[in-house]
Structure 1
Amino acid sequence: MKARNPRREIVRYTRWLAREGLITGSEGNLSLHLGDRILITPSGRLKAELSVEDLAEVSPEGTILCGRPTSELPMHLAVYRQNPEIRAVVHTHPPYTLALSLSGFDFRKHYLAEGALLLGEIAVVPYLPPGSEELARAVAEVLDETRVAVLERHGAVTAGRDLHEAVNLSLILEKVCRVVYLAKTLGADPVPLET
């Protein structure tokens, strides 16, 4: 089996999330912890057009080795410091997830089997300024207990042992939220699963 190129992998997943509408324009960010360094998406670049040359690299301590990393770098670093098992972090701005969040939706309840089975507990982080150390600490703390967090008025963060796992969680979260949103739009009052 051919070894994966981590730079190409992060670019491929970033573009994929852009195509799926979970990140738009220059928003959102992904990172991959490679042990001696962290690859992370850049600040200010259109994610649908990202190239391997655009990626930034930082040390696990936060020293910028090359490029211009996202302003959410503190959050990624804090998550990796809090839980060494996490090797990938994905921060999206998923519209259906955010719509439900703005409406006061209770993310502790599951309505679809895949949500309960694959997402598990979904943490909710109260609004904190993007890029702030306060947000970084809050996200790192909740992702030590779960792998999925909704950031009020901001987006979502998922974490995994690799990018495949973290991206999969992002996609499933938004799909589940889209289904619940559509059910509510059709006038239904969905009953949560008994878990």
Structure 2
Amino acid sequence: MTKNILALGVIATLFLNSCKETPKQENTETTTTETVEKVADNMITTTTTDKNGNTLNMSFNNTKGTVTISFNGETSELVQEKSASGIWYKNNQYELRGKGNDIELKKDGNVVFEHQDDVVNTSLKDNEGRTLDMTFNNTEGTVKAYLNGGEQIDLVAEKAASGIWYKNDQYELRGKGENLELTKDGKTVFKK
């Protein structure tokens, strides 16, 4: 009898397991859709003038690593070269080099265009021993000032009745002749 109950239990278990639904296989096939985006070229266009009044137009395509120059009625595309610092582009006829706002264009090895900003460096010391180092870029109308070798203070030229006047949101630099004053939030921090 025990054998019959055991056999009946095994049969019932097999029967119940066979009645369960077999798991459905999900469709594991995946579809990928490729989208091709056209990335807009990173373009920067600038114009600079030399001391003789000649104009050089430059359109830099940073995506392609090229520059299109327009000078004296000629247009040419130059390819970017590896430069230690600044920019360097060339083709079989032209070579363009520069750093900051200073630019030099050569045609067939001869300099045909050169622009250099009018930059003046000066350092002053007041009666209390504080120093004010300044780099004036007269072409751009800016000055970078460093009080006691501290952080860089960037100032922009304002129209002054006479003398100089540069300012930003916190600082103001005014001067005439030998006198110069730097204020921060209206309080004098350097006076010569």
TM-score, L = length of structure 1:
0.22
TM-score, L = length of structure 2:
0.22
Indicate the structure whose relative CO is greater, using CA pairs within 8 Å and at least 6 residues apart: 1
Q: Which one has a larger percent strand, Structure 1 or Structure 2?
A: 2
Q: Which one has a larger percent helix, Structure 1 or Structure 2?
A: 1
Larger Cα-atom Rg: 2
